Each structure stands twice: as structure tokens, then as C-alpha cells.
């Protein structure tokens, strides 16, 4: 009954450090997404992967890279963290990219860059 699992749940980085946020889903979904949530901004799409082997930029991709490792896993990497990347990060997955599809979200990773 796991759904979408994100690790870690909390992280503090120093400016310039790198890290990878991990996401895995066990629902055999084709599409996976990374969002960031900032106060008053809603959820903004960073990158998405419509299917295994493909990735595309979203609304705010700068400073991030992603890897769709396999159908289950979609990781988000910050190569050189900046304070502007302090945010809550959510991973989501959908069965497909068609209508009539529900997005399932992980519990989020709260990242602070000092």
C-alpha cells in the first residue's frame, strides 16, 4: 500500500552542495513528475517523465537534473544547491498522460539550503 515514496523527508544543505532526491512508485505508472511548492505559488512543475526513458522540462527546470532510472524510479538532482532552491519537493505519478488519470503524490521532501 506504499504508492509514491520519497526520500529523504527532510534535508539541510549548504550552498554549493549537491544531493539527489529519490522517488519510487509501486503502481506500475507510466508517468512521473517532480514539483516544488513555495508559499503562495502552488505547485510548479520542475521536470516530468511521460514514460520510461524520456524526460522533459517543466515550468522551473533551471538548477535541476532528473533521471528516470526505470519505470519505478525518478530522481531529482541538485548539482550546486542555492538558497532559492529552499522549498518542499513533491514527486507524483500517473498511469498515463491522458485525461481520466489521477496523480498520486508522495509525502514531500522539505529542503533547506543555507
Residues in touch with another protein (CB under 8 A) = 4, 33, 35, 40-45, 48, 50, 58-59, 90, 92, 97-100, 102-103, 105-108
Q: How would you write 58-104 as a 3-class SS string?
A: CCCCCCCEEEECCCCEEEEEECCCCHHHCEEEEEEEECCCCCCCCCE
- Cβ 9 to another protein shortest distance, Å: 9
Q: Please answer whether residues 92 and 50 qualify as being in contact, where contact means their C-beta atoms are separated by less than 8 angstroms.
A: no
Residue 17 or 107 having the CB closest to another protein? 107
Residue 14 or 99 having the CB closest to another protein? 99
Amino acid at each position: 500500500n506504499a504508492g509514491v515514496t520519497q526520500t529523504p523527508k527532510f534535508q539541510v544543505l549548504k550552498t554549493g552542495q549537491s544531493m539527489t532526491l529519490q522517488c519510487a512508485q509501486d503502481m506500475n505508472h507510466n508517468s512521473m513528475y517532480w514539483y516544488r511548492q513555495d508559499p503562495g505559488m502552488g505547485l510548479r512543475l520542475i521536470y516530468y517523465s511521460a514514460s520510461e526513458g524520456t524526460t522533459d522540462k517543466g515550468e522551473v527546470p533551471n538548477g535541476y537534473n532528473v533521471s528516470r532510472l526505470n519505470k519505478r524510479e525518478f530522481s531529482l538532482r541538485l548539482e550546486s544547491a542555492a538558497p532559492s532552491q529552499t522549498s518542499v519537493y513533491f514527486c507524483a505519478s500517473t498511469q498515463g498522460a491522458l485525461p481520466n488519470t489521477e496523480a498520486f503524490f508522495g509525502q514531500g521532501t522539505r529542503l533547506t539550503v543555507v
